[in-house]
Structure 1
């Protein structure tokens, strides 16, 4: 996997919706997890861990600051899969 597919994006979104306890219409690709959805550091780590398990990738903790919204997560997962 070198780039996230539409199916991958949907799976990523569902993981994040579940962890942040949001409905699909409450999140956009650019809405900020912490500022707009009240995500704390534990939830962000849970997102990272769940993505690693579901996509069989290793995401460096140094990439976490880029994972502020769906667009950032898509990019990080795509890079980790290369």
Structure 2
């Protein structure tokens, strides 16, 4: 398993916990609002956990685009690459 795959699985566990799901229930492309009934407070909590865990600040302006696990992971990679 690559580092990127491990990171995706860590994110899956973190997001599943916030959404009160089992990690296996959370797919890469499942829509947080439509499929898992998430609200904006949960999205903000996901960002806060990413910031705390990975020391990466993803701006809240990104929230509308962070609608599934794959998008969250892409943002994490994008913003962690900006550190420098």
TM-score normalized by the length of structure 1? 0.90
Higher relative contact order (CA 8 A, sep 6+): 1
Aligned-pair distance for 1:39? 0.4
Q: How many residues align?
A: 79
RMSD: 1.1
Aligned twin of 1:38: 37
Aligned twin of 2:20: 21
- Structure 1: runs of 5 or more not aligned: none
Correspondence 1:1-82 to 2 at 5 A: 5-82=4-81
> 3-state SS of the aligned residue for 1:5?
helix
TM-score normalized by the length of structure 2? 0.88
